[in-house]
């Protein structure tokens, strides 16, 4: 595992965007995995800049997002699909239907939302590069501490900690959904390469545990130690306990 440390958050955003931009042009039909959250916003802004300047194109690229709240159609203010449209998809030349976000709304059954999503990823030949953020308790996707490493795409009940962390995007904690559909650790480890972006001192301790402690389901991000092609992009605050 490689760790790249940058002075500032902006430095992380630029480096991550440059890395993703270089990778997605490396082969035709590149398949990219994407996260939502505060962490990747800066990287998405830089990718949009590159497209606007004519330096990058998303034509021919397929994307798969990590997760979505269960029951969300995608147009709710906090929906991850809406986030992705606002931060990336509506501002780049990605083709209609080429971006995918898990969906378990309306009549969609849990099986369709989980196995269906997994089959769609497999149908595209798997994910070439997955971009991850990390939660304050070491979660990746919505894989909370204690989630078995063997799970593929699945429905998950959210922990109180994650609901608290995410409540900043809602009017109150009561409005935060209690369940989500997420790629599991098995889905993440199946990606051919991964980057994880981590910023800020609040995540420093858990990042150090994840990267230098034992590989344990108690700290989901620690599994990245076992991935042959994983790079961590961190600012110096997040890296301060390494």
Q: At closest approach, how far in Å is the CB of 239 from ligand F6R?
A: 16
Q: Which of 141, 154, 187, 195 contacts ligand F6R by CB under 6 A? A: 141
Binding characters for ligand F6R, 157-196, by CB under 6 A (x = yes): ----------------------------------------
Quick check: 33 binds ligand F6R (CB under 6 A)?
A: no
Residue 53 CB coordination number (10 Å): 8
Structure tokens that stand for 77 in this block: 């203010």
Please identify, among the stretches 8-16, 20-28, 131-139, 208-216, the one whose residues bind ligand F6R according to the rule CB under 6 A.
131-139
Toward ligand F6R, which CB reaches closer, 92 or 238?
238
Cα torsion 59, 62, 67, 70: sign: positive
Please, is 122 exposed, middle or buried when counting C-beta atoms within 10 Å of its C-beta (0-12, 13-18, 19+)? exposed
Which position among 18, 41, 110, 137 bears the catalytic label? 137
Q: Which of 38, 77, 146, 148 contacts ligand F6R by CB under 6 A? A: 38
In three-state secondary structure terms, 12 is: helix
Residues 53-72 that bind ligand F6R (CB under 6 A): 66-67
d(CA 156, CA 138): 16
Rg (CA), the chain: 17
d(CA 108, CA 100): 15
Structure tokens that stand for 222 in this block: 């620690």
C-alpha dihedral, 197 to 203 to 204 to 210, nearest 10°: -70
Toward ligand F6R, which CB reaches closer, 66 or 94?
66
* Angle made by CA atoms 143, 71, 39, in degrees to the nearest 5: 45
Quick check: 35 binds ligand F6R (CB under 6 A)?
A: yes
Annotated active-site residue 227? The verdict is no
Annotated active-site residue 96? The verdict is no
Q: At closest approach, how far in Å is the CB of 85 from ligand F6R?
A: 14
Which position among 103, 128, 139, 154 bears the catalytic label? 139
DSSP state of 71: T
Toward ligand F6R, which CB reaches closer, 56 or 185?
185
Structure tokens that stand for 168 in this block: 């900043």
Residues designated catalytic? 67, 137, 139, 144
Residues that bind ligand F6R (CB under 6 A): 35-39, 66-67, 133-135, 139-141
């Amino acid at each position: 595992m490689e760790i790249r440390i940058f002075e500032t958050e902006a430095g992380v955003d630029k480096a991550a965007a440059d890395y993703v931009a270089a990778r997605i042009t490396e082969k035709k039909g590149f398949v990219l995995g994407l996260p939502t959250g505060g962490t990747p916003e800066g990287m998405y802004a830089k990718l949009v800049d590159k497209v606007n300047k004519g330096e990058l194109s998303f034509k021919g690229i397929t994307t798969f997002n990590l997760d979505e709240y269960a029951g969300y159609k995608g147009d709710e203010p906090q929906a991850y699909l809406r986030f992705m449209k606002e931060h990336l998809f509506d501002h780049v030349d990605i083709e209609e239907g080429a971006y995918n976000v898990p969906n378990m709304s309306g009549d969609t059954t849990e099986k369709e939302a989980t196995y269906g999503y997994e089959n769609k990823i497999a149908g595209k030949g798997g994910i070439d590069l997955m971009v991850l953020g990390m939660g304050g308790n070491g979660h990746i996707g919505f894989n909370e501490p204690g989630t078995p490493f063997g799970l593929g795409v699945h429905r998950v009940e959210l922990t109180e900690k994650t609901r608290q962390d995410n409540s900043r995007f809602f009017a109150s904690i009561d409005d935060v959904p209690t369940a989500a559909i997420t790629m599991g650790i098995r889905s993440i480890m199946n990606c051919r390469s991964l980057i994880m972006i981590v910023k800020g001192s609040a995540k420093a301790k858990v990042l150090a545990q994840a990267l230098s402690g034992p590989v344990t389901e108690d700290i989901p991000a620690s599994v990245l130690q076992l991935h042959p092609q994983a790079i961590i992009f961190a600012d110096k605050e997040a890296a301060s306990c390494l």
